[in-house]
Amino acid sequence: MSAKTAAASLAATFVGHSTVLLEVDGRRVLTDPLLRRRVGALIRHSPLPPASVYRDLHAVVISHAHIDHLDVPSLRLIDKDTPVLAPQATKRLIKRLGFADVTEMEVGESRDIGGVRLTAVPAVHGITRHPMATPGNSLGYLVEGRLTAYFAGDTGLFDEMAGLADNLDLALLPVGGWGPRLPEDHLNPLTAAKALRLLRPAVAVPIHWGTLYPPWLPPAFNARFGGWPVAFERYAAHLAPGVDVRVLGPGETTRIDAAGREEALT
């Protein structure tokens, strides 16, 4: 093993919902920041992240303009010199928050951040922020250093997942939501496990679960949503047994090095 390969490392901290802190080759990338206690009528049922999660970032990536993924109050907490990569038709909104470096991305476009390449990839998901909004696009992202992570954002299953990346080290896949039903443009535990057969990552971490709950549903009903990652893990064991599925609670971190070793932290 070369010194370059031995130094390769990747850490992922599941902050909650679709927010993950990726640390790749010394670069800190935060996905779809959702950092507050409530969004609209939805209440957060996991600890608020410490400021250390969203300070000293090298980039923020936003998958689409839905309010639980492009959250204005959460973005206000982030240093305004942080580069933001976001879908079409979102730049004006993000610029108004004071961010100087905002790049609207199309599928296939890349940006290098200190030796780590961020590439927009397809997603299949409804994209209108509100009924009068200008249509944008919905994206996933590859975060490529010496190791490669795929952040799916929100998406349904699509065949082109098979060609997104070679030798994918980590896939961050949504497996749930905040209500009793998931539309077809959301992965669920079964379709997320099917996605593993297309993506063929070394490691998969389920996201988009266990964070936001509607307060009008009984607590016992809401608690059922916490079973989504367990179901995903069970389906994956049958459909993609070579993938190492790691279920992280909000605030937990997993590490992957070039030899595939991991260290779980809380």
Ordered by where they begin, the domains of the chain are 3-244 (3.60.15.10)
pLDDT, average across residues 161-180: 89
pLDDT band with cut points at 50, 70 and 90 for residue 129: very low
More confident call, 184 vs 10: 10
Give this prediction's pTM. Answer: 0.91
More confident call, 70 vs 183: 70
Q: What share of the chain is helix, strand, coil (3-state, %, to 5)?
A: 20, 30, 50
| pLDDT tens, position by position, 77-88 | 999 999 999 999
| pLDDT tens, position by position, 21-61 | 999 999 999 999 999 999 888 889 888 999 999 999 999 99
CB neighbours of residue 109 within 10 Å:
14
